[in-house]
Amino acid sequence: MDSKTIILKSYENLTEANFDKHILEENGIDCFLSDSNVVQLYPMFSSPFGGIKLHIFEENEEKALQVLNQIHEKDA
């Protein structure tokens, strides 16, 4: 079975993107970021590129959303 990657979330800020990436990895969810270099070098292009994207495997979507929702509920 081939695993498909999806974009779970997009960010304007690399710090927030790295935080969520770290949280997912700590919970055993493989993930990676894309377009972070473009957004850092040219912040004015963040919107046309869709920001910094957090990718995960599709089968981990539900677990990843639960983990991130729990973490961000504590921050609110």
Residue 7 has pLDDT above 80, yes or no: yes
Single pTM value for the model? 0.84
Question: CA 19 to CA 33: how far, in whole Å?
Answer: 11
pLDDT for 50: 76
pLDDT for 29: 98
pLDDT tens for each residue of 15-68: 999 999 999 999 999 999 998 877 766 666 666 667 899 999 999 999 999 999
pLDDT for 70: 94
Residue 15's Cβ-count burial label (10 Å; 0-12, 13-18, 19+) is exposed
- 24 with 56: CB under 8 angstroms? yes
